[in-house]
A and B are shown apart, each in its own frame.
Chain A
Amino acid sequence: MTTAVRFENYSWRYSRTKEQALKEINLEIEEGLLVGVIGPNGSGKTTLAYSMNGLIPNQYNGIRKGSVKIYDEEVTEMDQAQLCQQVGLVFSDPEAQFTAMTVEDEVVFGMENMGLTYQEIEERLDWVVPLTDIEELMEKPPYEVSGGQKQRVALASVLSMRPPVLMLDEPTSMLDPIGRRRIFDVLGRLKREYQSTIIIVEHSLENLIPLADLMVLVYEGEVLLVDETEPFFQKLDYLMEHHIYPPGVLEFFHHLKKSGDYPEASALPESVGEGEKQLRRLLENKA
């Protein structure tokens, strides 16, 4: 297995604050995994993201300790252009990344900067535009399309650069539930068809849980829990103590488990379909 991202005893303190934003982080992310990073606002999730693509320390002042490596190369040793091709970052506020006058120019901008040939750019557009469902928007100014569309444009412009590590900071915060699911469908396809390493900071867990291989809980600047998704969510009491609120199905079965209605050793169902199956088993057994 190749390690895509490795944090070793990594700490970061912004120069204007007294407290470290991240404290002694140790975290390894294998290539090809889809990783969910969760935690309350202000816990250090975005700082973690910025530390991977070099925005920290290049654009922020502060004190850095330890190391962050992308494919065994120290982030501070790479130049920003190289890093941007290694780690694609989709911001939670898509407008923060828009620079062009049309959606098409916006999507093409990164590829042009990489020096791709016209033909290669065309090929990638043919791939990314239907994938993110932005055909209709190509001629429009990016700041005039709706919030959900903006998030898809931002995603397309980063995906088109095919970064081996894709980092998304709350990519669906502005979307309606089905728009949200569409983004996660795209991420699922990327994972299956391209074995991309995908790291998602997200509050909405319903869509994240079925896709994630690994979950990371960040709390007050520390990584408190790292585990595969299923065992991670078996520790629901611990997560709830740290202000993580699970989707309804998981919480429901957690209650049943606590009251002895659901076998202690069984995994908690994570989707509506799985929940239905288990519930039928429980109630039909009785009859």
Chain B
Amino acid sequence: MNEKQPFLTVRDLSYRYEDGTLALENVNLTLDDGDFVALIGQNGSGKTTLSKCLNGLFKPTEGTVMVDELDTRKTSITKMAVRVGYIFQNPDHQLFNGSVWEEIAYGPKNIELPEEETRERVEEAARVVGLDPETFEKPPFFLPKGIRQRVAIASILALRPRIIIVDEPTTGQDRRQALEIMNFLVRLHEERDHIIVFITHDMPIVSQYAKRIVLMGEGHVLADGPTAEVFAQPDKLEETFVEPPQITQLAQAVEDLGFDPGTLLVEEMVERYRELKG
């Protein structure tokens, strides 16, 4: 009976909003070390509601969410915040302090860390996201959006949550900026062992970065598995208004010629073409 539990376990979770809308129904899910997950599905499929159940902001209507052996229904938001961090799509929904320093220190102070440790954590978080200490005294609102986003991320990192959920990190970014953000999440994952969950509609980003996909549709988990496996199920994707990236669609259209329907990257496709061409 000493088997290690996953860090996070969702069991038979349903969530109903006050107006009666059933946003999640019978969701089962685990998250553990090594996970780098894309949470995808059409607008309104329950992705954001699920995220807010994972960090305890929403309590299950039915079922349970266990994080680090704590039941979210019986655990304070503060205790949850040091375990599951949620980064808003729009950094301005999250920033409210008078200076960058205060913004990042807000979480550590709130969990009543001693001043010395608060300082260490702020400096560390700022370093990880590449914030110049010169910005510490500035009000966050007047900084460029890219910097505001870093401040928002740093303020979450300062709490050192094992799981970091990022809501649409690449929306409104051009491709170069999107890759920078994703590479940053990879570094957090690889060098600091964070479990990453990102919500997105950008399927090429999913195929390039996610190890695993959780596919949501109308409040249900429609598929959950390795990225290539989920993308190889076009019917399930269509159910929730998602389609695989173009290169995967091409591979699926010519599967009969010997291409792998789970092809994720252009390079894989080129390589397979060369093999087939002989």
Contacts and interface: CB of A to CB of B under 8 A. Distances in A.
Contact of B171 (A39, A174, A256): A174
A176 B241 contact: yes
Main secondary structure of the interface of B (DSSP, over half): helix
Contacts of A276: 250, 253-254
B146 to A, nearest CB: 9
A206 B234 CA distance: 18
A215 to B, nearest CB: 16
Interface in A72-100: 92
A211 interface: no
Nearest to A146: B43
Nearest to A178: B241
Interface in B160-212: 171-177, 201, 203-204
Contacts of B98: none
B77 interface: no
Given A41-B173, A243-B174, A283-B276, A176 B41 contact: yes
A279 B254 contact: yes
A256 B270 contact: yes
Interface residues of B, number: 33
Contact of B175 (A147, A149, A245): A245
A40 B246 contact: no
Given A41-B173, A248-B204, A177 B241 contact: yes
B273 A256 contact: yes
Which of A170, A259, A283 has the most chain B CB atoms closer than 10 A to its own CB? A283
Contacts of A29: none
Contact of B43 (A40, A175, A286): A175
Contacts of B241: 176-179
Interface in B240-278: 241-243, 245-250, 253-254, 257, 266, 269-270, 273, 276-278
Nearest to B172: A173
A84 to B, nearest CB: 25
Given A206-B246, A247-B246, A272 B253 contact: yes
A251 interface: yes
Given A179-B43, A249-B250, A283 B266 contact: no
A141 interface: no
Nearest to B249: A272
A69 interface: no
Contact of B246 (A41, A248, A259, A282): A248
Given A92-B172, A173-B172, A280 B254 contact: yes
A148 interface: yes
Nearest to A181: B243
B249 to A, nearest CB: 5
B225 interface: no
A261 interface: yes
Contacts of B270: 252, 255-256, 259
Interface in B205-243: 241-243
B42 interface: yes
B177 A41 contact: yes
Interface of A: 39-41, 92, 146-149, 170, 173-180, 203, 206, 243-245, 247-249, 251-252, 255-256, 259, 261, 272-273, 275-276, 279-280, 282-284, 286
13 contacts: A40-B176, A41-B174, A173-B172, A176-B43, A176-B201, A178-B241, A203-B173, A249-B250, A255-B270, A256-B273, A275-B250, A276-B253, A276-B254
Question: What are the 3 tightest A-B residue pairs by CB atom distance, in nearest-first order?
Answer: A248-B247, A178-B241, A248-B246
